Amino acid sequence: MTAARLLIIGPQGSGKGTQGVRIADALGIPAVSTGDVFRANVKEGTELGLKVKAIIDAGDLVPDALTGEIVRDRLAQPDAAGGFLLDGYPRNLGQVGDLDGFLDERGAPLTAVIELVVPRDESIQRLSLRAAEQGRADDNAESIAKRLAIYESETAPILDVYRERGIVDQIDGVGSLDEVYARIQDALAARGVAAS
């Protein structure tokens, strides 16, 4: 079986968090979500959390250096030695270089990049619903539009880098959770990555 060093990517509201956890659980690897790490620190009121809260409340993204430090620390932990699933990092070309350097040192490049493809209207609809259900302050119309614009201008270009390496699997992100999950499983199985 191929080691599962995965990245799941897609616009906000594409379902990548939900699918990422499901895939990681099935493969027995940790799901490393920068958003979850940041939210946990905000909830705990840590120094990092206070910095992050101010940045997120403004609808901005946490700086690359801070994000990279957190991800490298997490991937160096023993439970990530056999594989991991990244969600929310890398999100721009600078972070791709940072992650490449870290993984190259370990001789452990990414196995696959799962790209969840969801139309913009669908993303906005899902995020609006999430805001109503979870009361998330960062899911208001203005910050949703800002985050989707940042995704389109900064994150989408990293897919070209990974496409050149032949590791991107485009997955239709519209459908039931089970339908989308089955599509992801099929794509990973074709790369020799399957649940044990």
Give per-10-residue mean pLDDT for the chain (196 aa). 88 90 95 85 85 83 85 89 93 93 94 93 83 73 82 89 96 95 96 83
Q: Please state the residue numbers annotated as binding site.
A: 13-18, 34, 39, 60-62, 88-91, 95, 130, 136, 147, 175
Name the percent of the chain in helix, strand, coil, to the closest 5.
Answer: 60, 15, 30
Which CATH number do you get for residue 182? 3.40.50.300
25: in domain = yes
Give pLDDT, residue 73.
82
Q: How many domains does the chain have?
A: 1
Give pLDDT, residue 150.
84
104: in domain = yes
Give pLDDT, residue 180.
96
Give pLDDT, residue 107.
92
Q: Which domain holds residue 40?
A: 4-190
Give the integer Cα–Cα distance in Å for 92 and 183: 26
196: in domain = no
94: in domain = yes
Give pLDDT, residue 190.
95
Give the integer Cα–Cα distance in Å for 147 and 145: 6
Give pLDDT, residue 196.
61
98: in domain = yes
Q: Please state the residue numbers annotated as binding site for AMP.
A: 34, 39, 60-62, 88-91, 95, 136, 147
Burial 87-111, CB ≥16 within 10 A → b, else e:
bbbbbbeebbebbeeeeeeeebebb
195: in domain = no
64: in domain = yes
At 49-79, the pLDDT tens digits run: 888 888 878 878 788 888 888 888 889 889 9
- The catalytic residues are 16, 91, 130, 136, 147
Give pLDDT, residue 60.
81
The amino acid sitting at 190 is: A
Q: Please state the residue numbers annotated as binding site for ATP.
A: 13-18, 130, 175
Give pLDDT, residue 188.
96
